[in-house]
Amino acid sequence: MAKNNSCVFRTSIGGQALIEGILMRGPEKQAIVVRDQDGSLVEKVENLRFIKDRYPILGVPLIRGVVNFLAAMISGVKALMYSADFYPEEEAAKPSRFELWLEKHLSSKKMESVVVALAVILGIGMSVFLFMVLPTLLTGALLFYFPGFPLWGRNLIEGLLKVGVFLLYLIFCSRQKDIYRVFQYHGAEHKTIFCYEAGLPLTVENVRVQPRHHPRCGTSFLFVVIIVSVLVSSVFFGVWPITNPWLRAAVHLLLLPVVVGITYEFNRWVGRHVQDNALARLLTKPGLWMQNFTTNEPDEGMMECAIRALELVLPEEKGKDEW
């Protein structure tokens, strides 16, 4: 079949690669499909409840970006834990004292909530440290010997270090054997969504010929977070010059919700106009290039998994998922 990159419409459905599986999230339902060790597909579908329906203010532009980011982190960690249960380690490690204490004092449901919360906190904490705090501290250490260095130069070095650390992190992850298959599922997710947006039947043959780089990918989102962080901090420190590296790092943390909120709105605009706006296409190119490190070509079984996950979250009302 000839390659078809045309877009009939843009969907709001998004996904996430798991351990031998795919998470798809639609306007009404979320589905997890995992390839079990015996080769069969295991499906888990749940209806979505949005916090903005109870608290409309959380759906306001800029605020909704932070809320949706945290919700995606929580659901993503839960889905990863679920998929990991199908592939337990061959030799289980001896439980630590902390794990034994949790099992003794908490129910399984409460313990899962604690583990998810810790995973989200550690994930966000590690990302913030690597991509924001560390470059700030490295710049401060470097410029300790050049106290008269201009502020604009400091902002530039800090920004370059942020992009550099992010790129090195992606390259490192892409070279890990255990991550390679996860990134194949990531490619299957993108290809399947492209196939659906092109209005083609969801078959392996149609999915296979689609691109694996999608403008609404989480990789692109994180890259834009880095760029927006550089721009916002440059404006802030241009108005309020702060040279102490620890104080600058603290300001970066305080500005993070603003950065995430702006990035979310930017990605919404790009996702809506990437097909018909030259500027939007230009702005997506760096993020699409980054996906060379986080997506791999999937095999047939992975595409079948992604297709099934997408089918499970399609809304009954045609067009309800339109972006």
Contact yes or no for 293/186 (Cβ under 8 A): no
What tens digit of pLDDT does each residue of 61-93 get?
889 888 888 888 888 888 888 888 887 765 455
Residue 61 has a pLDDT of 87
Residue 112 has a pLDDT of 58
- pLDDT above 80 (res 282): yes
By C-alpha distance, which of 110, 294, 65, 77 is closest to 187?
A: 294
Residue 95 has a pLDDT of 58
**Encoded amino acid at 101, one letter:** W
Residue 108 has a pLDDT of 58
- pLDDT above 80 (res 137): yes
By C-alpha distance, which of 47, 5, 3 is closest to 27?
A: 47
The span from the CA of 250 to the CA of 133, in Å, is 8
- pLDDT above 80 (res 183): yes
- pLDDT above 80 (res 151): no
Quickly state the pLDDT bin for 322 (edges 50, 70, 90): confident
pTM for this model (two decimals)? 0.82
Rounded to the nearest angstrom, the gap between the alpha carbon of residue 229 and the centroid of all alpha carbons in its chain is: 17
The span from the CA of 129 to the CA of 7, in Å, is 38
The count of residues in the chain is 323
By C-alpha distance, which of 298, 289, 322, 280 is closest to 196?
A: 322
- pLDDT above 70 (res 15): yes
- pLDDT above 50 (res 2): no
Q: Which two tokens stand for residue 141?
A: 């250490």
Rounded mean pLDDT of 130-154? Answer: 82
Contact yes or no for 207/191 (Cβ under 8 A): yes
What tens digit of pLDDT does each residue of 186-224 get?
999 999 999 999 999 999 999 999 999 988 888 888 888
